Structure 1
Amino acid sequence: MPRAIWSGSVSFGLVNVPVKLVTATSSKDVRFHQLHAEDGGRINQKRVCSLDGEEVEYSDIVKGYDMGGGRYVIVEPEELATLDPEADRSIDIEEFVELSDIDPLYYDHSYYLIPDGRADKPYALLAETMARTGKVAIGRFVLRTKQYLGAIRAHDGVLVLSTMLYADEIVPQSELEVPTTDATKPSKRELDMAEKLVESLTSAFEPEKYHDDHREKVLALIEAKADGQAIAAPEAPRDTAPVVDLMAALEASLAAAGARGDGSRKKASA
């Protein structure tokens, strides 16, 4: 079982549910170390002053906020500590909202909330109530001296907490350069064809059928090299021709999707 990184309680109204916070995800990235090409030694990172080029001890490093123009404001750890939010070990639910009202842009990291101590019954009550109502609880809590905004929802009888970004952390779409001229507006026929293509590719989401092909290839390459096999360099990819006729591309896509669907149905019947 994953180790709890926080313990406290979820409170809504006068109901208090003791919980523990555990990570809900596990990164599977293939990580490489930096090595010296000549002798294979690990590369060490050093802290070097940009002015005199001397290595600096960690104890001699302070935090500075860049004000622009080469001016920094030095802030001491003791000064920051006076501003740390009070860690009251509680996630106070401020409101319940519809899941569809939350844009996925706001989600950050996901965690599981599991019952702590003798909290099984109130935990089950909260999880079942949220599942029946389809609501998401919004609240704030403190983790490692930082205040987070969180969304709590029920998933198969377990409470899932997703930390969220604040509104001012989302890049406004008004800052994007997306052309919206008459020339880019699709025709009714193009929209009808595109909708048919979407319908032909629509199915129930099954996360288990997706896997990281690239990671598997990297691990296979590592295993092959560890066994002494020579790895041939791949051919340079060919340039993909730009789509000139949008309708022709849609029609070809629909035909390909239909052929794939027929093949799947034949396989299922067999």
Structure 2
Amino acid sequence: MAPRANWKGTLKVAEVTCAVALYTAASISERIAFHTINRATGHRVRREFVDSDTGKPVDRDNQVKGYEINGGEHVMLEPEEIAAAIPDSDKVLNVSAFIACDGIDEIYFDKPYYLTPAESLAADAFSLIREGLKQQNVAAIAQTVLFRRMRNILIRAHGPGMIATTLNFDYEVRSAEEAFKNIPEHKIEGEMLDLAQHIIKTKTGKFDISGFDDRYENALAELVKAKLDGRKIAAAPKARPGKVVDLLAALRESAKLPARKTPTRRKSG
């Protein structure tokens, strides 16, 4: 079955426009999902909202959003008030600037989407914009209301189509300086640095995501299969705590090891 577009609108670069569609590029739908079950009856358990003081269930009609101001006091917001405050979507990806493809810190990347022409009549204009980005090796920055939020979007050429990546706002990204402030400064030089560079060179390769195995998902799949088959599955061995070793000695030992090959993907049965 053909994928369904998450959003349709217009891509606008100056006076050039074309109808476009966004499709989810990354999905968690293939992950193993569990339900919460009542062990005694085997029935699924449903979640219920209850009043934090009375403990009584609160039906959907009496549930409203609230913003805490202090000491448990809230400003209550009705659904229609929230809807009225959100900017209307004009369904236009309006390009405001072009930047170098590597001109933005990837920490601001949020979620990727495939961007395609929404109709055959848009193919020429779409291809023109895509080729312009590719030839100049730049990305476009656009803004639109997407899924009831104003979003900044980075658009890059990708094969016959384009990738549109939603971007985090500055206030959504935590300060790296705050996270790194307790890391002590160390000057690394001499043999230690030479050995580290040698190890990196011997293990340098090309990235191929298909070569990496999701051991957690595979273990869950094997567990479910074993339960269905009535088999017991051995518990995974616990990792041993690492020993404190001399850093220079560890580097010297590592430099003697052969380069690791790209891991092969193991398919669950």
Instruction: Give the corresponding residue for 2:140.
Output: 137
C-alpha RMSD over aligned residues: 1.8
Q: Deviations over 1:181-231 (max 9, x none)?
A: 45x332333222211211111112222222312212211221111011012
Instruction: Give the corresponding residue for 1:245.
Output: 246
Distance 1:152 1:240 in 2: 44
- Residue in structure 2 matching 1:209, options 196, 205, 211: 211
- Residue in structure 2 matching 1:175, options 151, 163, 178: 178
Instruction: Give the corresponding residue for 1:47.
Output: 49
Q: Deviations over 1:51-78 (max 9, x none)?
A: 1111110101111001232121111222
Distance 2:180 2:5 in 1: 44
Instruction: Give the corresponding residue for 1:9.
Output: 10
Instruction: Give the corresponding residue for 2:92.
Output: 90
Contact 1:128 1:157 (8 Å CA) reproduced: no
Quote how far apart the aligned CAs of 1:235 are. Answer: 4.5
- Residue in structure 2 matching 1:116, options 115, 118, 138: 118
Consecutive unaligned residues of structure 2, counting only runs of 5 or more, are 264-269
Instruction: Give the corresponding residue for 1:268.
Output: none
Q: Which of the pair is proportionally richer in helix? A: 1
Distance 2:25 2:72 in 1: 42
Instruction: Give the corresponding residue for 2:25.
Output: 24
Contact 1:197 1:257 (8 Å CA) reproduced: no
Q: Deviations over 1:14-35 (max 9, x none)?
A: 1001101111122132111111
Quote how far apart the aligned CAs of 1:178 are. Answer: 4.2
Does structure 1 residue 128 correspond to structure 2 residue 136? no
Instruction: Give the corresponding residue for 1:198.
Output: 200
Distance 1:124 1:3 in 2: 21
- Residue in structure 2 matching 1:158, options 134, 152, 161: 161
Consecutive unaligned residues of structure 1, counting only runs of 5 or more, are 265-270
Does structure 1 residue 102 correspond to structure 2 residue 104? yes
Which stretch of structure 1 is more off in the superposition, 6-15 or 33-42?
33-42
Q: Which runs of 4+ in 1 moved over 6 A?
A: none
Which stretch of structure 1 is more off in the superposition, 211-220 or 90-99?
211-220
Distance 1:89 1:130 in 2: 22
Quote how far apart the aligned CAs of 1:239 are. Answer: 2.1
Letter in 1 for 2:249: A
Distance 2:228 2:192 in 1: 52
Helix, strand or coil: the match of 1:82?
helix
State TM-score, norm by structure 1. Answer: 0.90
> Alignment length, in residue pairs?
259
